């Protein structure tokens, strides 16, 4: 699984150091060997922590998913118990056989995709608006980062309060100014809007929260990239008579393509895996249940770690499929 995942951005070689110590055809000098030994010593705790708490659990997850395991049986559980246990795909059959299974998978993909695209668009828009200096730009820039740095519990609670049907300020203003009837944004599955038709209300609100919370992340990166576009390109474009929108299309956007692609990938992965935002906003109710919530339900609500492990592997697999499609598509587009 690790081999097919994209390497994260900026994980290039360290400055100055050659990628590999000593070539095979030449015997490394004693000082070189001492250096390597010291390096391993320094890296050891980090490697150990990663191995025990990241690599091992992933492997272990596979064995758990193949066993029938209830929370009450955990007392007799051992890491190598699976060697004697009866293994099978019952857990996979159980979780995929749920009536809502495929709609949950679809919802997870839509949630990740919509949240990612919206947060990237908002971030791009903000970065373009803030690009040229104005009085107070530093302060506004700091303010724009607020949704991202605000503790998630606080952000979710403020949104729940603002949008509450009983005492939410949004409903109060909507009622006073536009005469709408109070809406339960996080509790109502769908709403009929004039012109638009039926809209999944709670699900859309959760996506809006996600876009709001993560647009600063896109904003920081796009803003930094914008500052690095050489000025003379714009000067040349102006001399050629390009309008502002033409400059965006032919100068700015091509410069941003790389950073946008990386941001899309990262945000998609993280949104796809998201548990906390939805759990805090709706608890997975009113048509917002995504795979992560379902995993938590199996683990805690139904005390069935085996099924939870199976579903978490399905989550990783679905993500991998979507990412492969995306990477292939990107590669093909870069070729043409």
Which residues in the 10-49 window bind another protein by CB under 8 A? 10-22, 32, 35-36, 38-40, 42-43, 45-46, 49
Rounded Cα–Cα distance for residues 257 and 12 (Å): 19
Q: In 186-207, which positions are buried (b, 16+ CB within 10 angstroms) versus exposed (e)? A: beeeebeeeeeeeebbbbbbbb
Judged by beta carbon, residue 40 or residue 194, the one nearer another protein is 40
Straight-line distance from the first to the last Cα atom of the chain, in angstroms, rounded to the nearest whole number: 29
Q: Find the Cα–Cα–Cα–Cα dihedral 265, 269, 271, 273, rounded to 10°.
A: 180
129 makes contact with another protein (CB under 8 A): yes
Options 176, 194, 231, 334; binder of another protein; rule CB under 8 A: 176
| Least separation in angstroms between CB 137 and another protein | 9
CB 115 within 8 A of CB 269: no
> Which H or E element spans position 44?
helix 30-50
Q: In 230-263, which positions are buried (b, 16+ CB within 10 angstroms) versus exposed (e)? A: eeeeeeebeeeebeeeebeeebbeeebeebbbeb
| Least separation in angstroms between CB 198 and another protein | 27
245 makes contact with another protein (CB under 8 A): yes
262 makes contact with another protein (CB under 8 A): yes
Judged by beta carbon, residue 45 or residue 194, the one nearer another protein is 45
Binding letters toward another protein, positions 47-86, x by CB under 8 A? --xx-xxx-xxx-xx--x----x-x--xx-xxx-------
| Least separation in angstroms between CB 296 and another protein | 7
319 makes contact with another protein (CB under 8 A): yes
Judged by beta carbon, residue 9 or residue 190, the one nearer another protein is 9
| Least separation in angstroms between CB 75 and another protein | 8
Judged by beta carbon, residue 52 or residue 321, the one nearer another protein is 52
Judged by beta carbon, residue 117 or residue 170, the one nearer another protein is 170
CB 304 within 8 A of CB 298: yes
From 90-98, 189-197, 258-266, 324-332, give the range in contact with another protein by CB under 8 A: 258-266
Q: Which residue has the tokens 């993560």?
A: 214
């Amino acid at each position: 699984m690790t081999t097919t995942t994209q390497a994260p951005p900026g994980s290039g070689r360290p400055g100055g150091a050659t990628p590999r110590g000593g070539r095979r055809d030449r015997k490394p000098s004693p000082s070189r060997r001492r250096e390597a030994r010291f390096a391993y010593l320094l890296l050891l705790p980090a490697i150990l922590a990663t191995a025990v708490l990241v690599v091992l659990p992933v492997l272990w997850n596979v064995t758990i998913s193949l066993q029938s395991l209830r929370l009450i049986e955990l007392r007799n559980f051992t890491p190598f118990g699976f060697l004697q246990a009866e293994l099978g795909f019952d857990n996979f059959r159980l979780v995929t056989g749920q009536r809502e299974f495929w709609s949950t998978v679809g919802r997870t993909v839509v949630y990740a995709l919509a949240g990612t695209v919206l947060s990237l668009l908002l971030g791009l828009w903000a970065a373009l608006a803030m690009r040229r200096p104005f009085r107070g730009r530093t302060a506004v820039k700091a303010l724009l980062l607020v949704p991202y740095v605000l503790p998630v519990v606080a952000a979710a609670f403020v949104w729940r309060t603002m949008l509450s049907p009983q005492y939410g300020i949004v409903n109060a203003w909507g009622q006073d100014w536009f005469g709408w009837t109070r809406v339960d944004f996080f509790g109502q599955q769908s709403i009929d809007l004039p012109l638009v038709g039926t809209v999944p209300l709670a699900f859309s609100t959760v996506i809006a929260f996600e876009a709001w919370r993560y647009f600063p992340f896109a904003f920081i990166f796009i803003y930094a990239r914008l500052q690095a576009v050489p000025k003379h390109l714009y000067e040349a474009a102006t001399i050629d008579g390009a309008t502002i929108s033409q400059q965006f299309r032919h100068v700015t956007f091509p410069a941003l393509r790389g950073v946008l692609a990386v941001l899309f990938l990262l945000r998609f992965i993280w949104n796809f895996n998201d548990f906390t935002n939805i759990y805090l906003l709706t608890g997975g109710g009113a048509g917002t249940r995504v795979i992560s919530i379902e995993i938590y339900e199996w683990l805690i609500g139904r005390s069935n770690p085996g099924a939870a492990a199976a579903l978490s592997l399905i989550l990783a697999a679905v993500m991998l499929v979507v990412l492969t499609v995306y990477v292939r598509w990107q590669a093909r587009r870069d070729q043409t």
